[in-house]
Structure 1
Amino acid sequence: MDTASLLSLKKFLATVEEYRASDLHLSVGNPPTLRVNGQLIPIKETVVTPKFVTEIADAILTADQKQKLQEQKELIVTFDFESKKRFRIHFFFQQGYISASIRSIHNMIPTPDQLGIPTQITQRLLGIHQGLVLYVGSFGSGRTTTVASLVNHINNQQAWRIITIEQPVEYIFADNKSIIEQREVGKDASTWSQALESVLDEDVQLVVVSDVLGEQVLEKILEVAESGRLVYSTMNASHTVSAIERIINMLSSEKKTYMMSKFSSVLEAIVGQKLIPGVDGGLKLAMEIFIPNSMTRTLIKEGSLYQLSHIIQTSQEESIQSFDLALVELVQQHKIALERAMEHAHNKEAFRAFFR
């Protein structure tokens, strides 16, 4: 039976749809707050109470999930709203109280064109059929949606078997030319490593992993990529170099040399992305693309990140596009304002000089 709090949540979720918000934040002591086109908009008629969020958790979560939330102090689940809309809910504790951050998941998986992915980048990424492709960005950058879009494009074009390994499952795919199996860690597999180990003996062309969670999971991801499969994985990192730095930092000293050698050999691309407020009030996608060659593979293997960063920022090769170059193109296309682009540029001095 619906509690009063769950009914209130459904009302707020309807408001999310009405405003086309990407997120709803429920923080105890504050009003429910929407994120619309990058801006925070409080719903001022009410204030979130501890009872409100606790009752929502009680209504949505299973007994096992409630126990996990109490033990680990955070939990991510999905919630289907009246069979029409799907949401990703992150329960966590702050100041001793349960709070929640709720993200809207598209009903229809958008195409690469609809997301604003440049055609040449889409074609280059879809031309990769083995190895590892990392999709990186900060929270809210749309990296999960980009992966879903490319997977669905493959689904519509190729007779592949695709396995996704997620926690939780977010986008729901309908088989077209491909067969897509979606496995949730904790439900369909005990651990990430177990799920990845199982695909090594299966007929599968693409494996999608929703995050790189530590050395053991990374080792299995590299093993799958090394076996001739294509692996897509997302990672919470702001750009190419920070993603590689994060990977280096998750490795133990005993395995670092071996693992970085393997990582540099199977890596086929890193795609970074940001969503920038546009002049029309919407959000515009800025993409960094890095496809390694023999020289940059050596730099990755050696951990020479300063040199790698310099190459990315200054390269004129088609296989590399920096965020700054993507921002320049968006400004020239009158999609974002110069001042807004400046806020996100890596080399602000060089970026400003470009427009003098």
Structure 2
Amino acid sequence: MSAKDSKDYIDKLLQQTYERHGSDLHICSGIFPVIRRDGQLETLTELTAPLAGEDIHAFIMKTLLNEAQQKELQKTGSADAGYQIWSKDGRAIRCRVNAFRDANGMALAFRLIQNRIPSMQELRIPGPLQDIRHRKHGMVIITGPTGSGKTTTLAALLDAINAESPVHIITIEQPIEYQFQMKRAVISQREVGRDCISFLEGLRASLRQDPDVILIGEMRDAETITTALAAAETGHLVFTTLHSANAVEAIDRLVQYFPATRHQEIRNELANSFLAIAAQKLLPSRNGGRVAAFEVLLSTDSTKNVIRSSQGFRIQDYMHRDEGMQTMAESIRGLRNKHLIDG
């Protein structure tokens, strides 16, 4: 199969994923493609044949990745990219793609990106978390496993700021997912690998670009975390993500990027600067699709003291509903009581 044929074949797979309302498409060497719909994997067995490893490799090198991304793939075994085709009804099908090596050769994981940014109300983002958008400085961390909707939650929060406030928003993403239309805000969206060489360099540069609000797509190293905490303490509203199951794990994961000699220092800085840590997961909805459950930890004197004391395991004892907080169990119970999920 030629590189063009590989592209045409993959474009048809993406078209099918879009038409079936799938969220992800997985292409691995020698097996039938698989899509994820409403959280469940479905094999596209009606297709004539799986793609061979050399066909996937041709698409990656000839169509998907630029020179810098190809070097990243060769160096680390994986690379992120963006990709877009047009649907039969004339709409852009935008994707976040990870190309990677596995035991059978090359593989691709596509995440389809919605063109429309849903509202905070549609996502059922808890009111106290929505209210964070009115703050002028501090850090907001959205955490959860891959595919839990973190990016969509952040996009909804930023778009609400965009609609309400004449501020400068800078996003540093890899790749850019939701594309914002400027409303009251000025928005500068920068893509790692295209517009800046790393999250850290993009963040450092952003501090010279007169931002009010900064989105860091992911914090992956100690220097980025240190710079982000400093930005949050010095007059910027900073949004970012981590990969953890709950707020306690998010705190521990952030601290573990640093040597033990700095753990107390980082806990103090986090306690001083954080506004909220929200963990989320997507659950099957009774009406089809999925609905998000949120754990919300807010900054209070009690929660800040617990973070400083290195006793994060006690944090849930201080997550009081009358202060706007809720545990994941409470959120799931609320969804059941509203008959939004089974159980």
- What TM-score comes out, normalization by structure 2 length? 0.93
SS at match of 1:320: coil
Aligned mates of 2:17, 2:68 — CA distance in 1: 28
Q: State the match for 1:104 in structure 2.
A: 112
In the alignment, which of 38, 46, 51 is matched to residue 48 of structure 1? 51
Following superposition, the deviation at residue 2 of structure 1 comes to 6.2
Of the structure 1 ranges 63-72 and 135-144, higher mean CA displacement relative to structure 2 is found in: 63-72
Aligned length: 335
SS at match of 2:260: coil
In the alignment, which of 316, 339, 350 is matched to residue 321 of structure 2? 316
Counterpart mapping for 1:185-264 below 5 A: 185-264=192-271
Following superposition, the deviation at residue 317 of structure 1 comes to 2.9
Of the structure 1 ranges 59-68 and 282-291, higher mean CA displacement relative to structure 2 is found in: 59-68
SS at match of 1:68: helix
Q: State the match for 1:304 in structure 2.
A: 311
Aligned mates of 1:28, 1:310 — CA distance in 2: 49
Alpha-carbon distance change, 203 to 95 in structure 1, aligned in 2, over 3 angstroms: same
Alpha-carbon distance change, 145 to 294 in structure 1, aligned in 2, over 3 angstroms: same
Q: State the match for 1:283 in structure 2.
A: 290
Counterpart mapping for 1:176-191 below 5 A: 176-191=183-198
SS at match of 2:58: helix
Counterpart mapping for 1:123-142 below 5 A: 123-142=130-149
Following superposition, the deviation at residue 3 of structure 1 comes to 1.0
SS at match of 2:111: strand
- Is 1:248–1:260's contact at 8 Å kept on the other side of the alignment? yes
Following superposition, the deviation at residue 236 of structure 1 comes to 1.2
Q: State the match for 1:70 in structure 2.
A: 74
- Is 1:134–1:269's contact at 8 Å kept on the other side of the alignment? yes
Aligned mates of 1:153, 1:108 — CA distance in 2: 13
Aligned mates of 2:201, 2:15 — CA distance in 1: 38
- Is 1:112–1:122's contact at 8 Å kept on the other side of the alignment? no
The answer on 1:37 being equivalent to 2:38 is yes
Aligned mates of 2:78, 2:295 — CA distance in 1: 31
In the alignment, which of 274, 278, 284 is matched to residue 271 of structure 1? 278
AA in 1 matched with 2:58: E
AA in 1 matched with 2:272: S
- Is 1:26–1:101's contact at 8 Å kept on the other side of the alignment? yes
Following superposition, the deviation at residue 108 of structure 1 comes to 1.1
SS at match of 2:323: coil
The answer on 1:328 being equivalent to 2:333 is yes
Aligned mates of 1:201, 1:298 — CA distance in 2: 33
AA in 2 matched with 1:335: L
In the alignment, which of 143, 147, 172 is matched to residue 165 of structure 1? 172
Q: State the match for 2:5 in structure 1.
A: 4
Of the structure 1 ranges 316-325 and 208-217, higher mean CA displacement relative to structure 2 is found in: 316-325
Q: Which runs of 5+ in 2 are unaligned?
A: none
- Is 1:204–1:229's contact at 8 Å kept on the other side of the alignment? yes
- Is 1:200–1:227's contact at 8 Å kept on the other side of the alignment? no
Q: State the match for 1:342 in structure 2.
A: none
Aligned mates of 2:168, 2:143 — CA distance in 1: 24
In the alignment, which of 92, 113, 131 is matched to residue 121 of structure 2? 113
Following superposition, the deviation at residue 122 of structure 1 comes to 4.9
Q: Provide Cα deviations, 1:301-334, integer angstroms capped at 9, x if missing partner.
A: 222122114434xx33332111111111111111
Following superposition, the deviation at residue 216 of structure 1 comes to 0.8
Aligned mates of 1:171, 1:238 — CA distance in 2: 24
Q: Provide Cα deviations, 1:159-215, integer angstroms capped at 9, x if missing partner.
A: 010000112211111211100001122222233222222233332110000011111
- Is 2:69–2:193's contact at 8 Å kept on the other side of the alignment? no
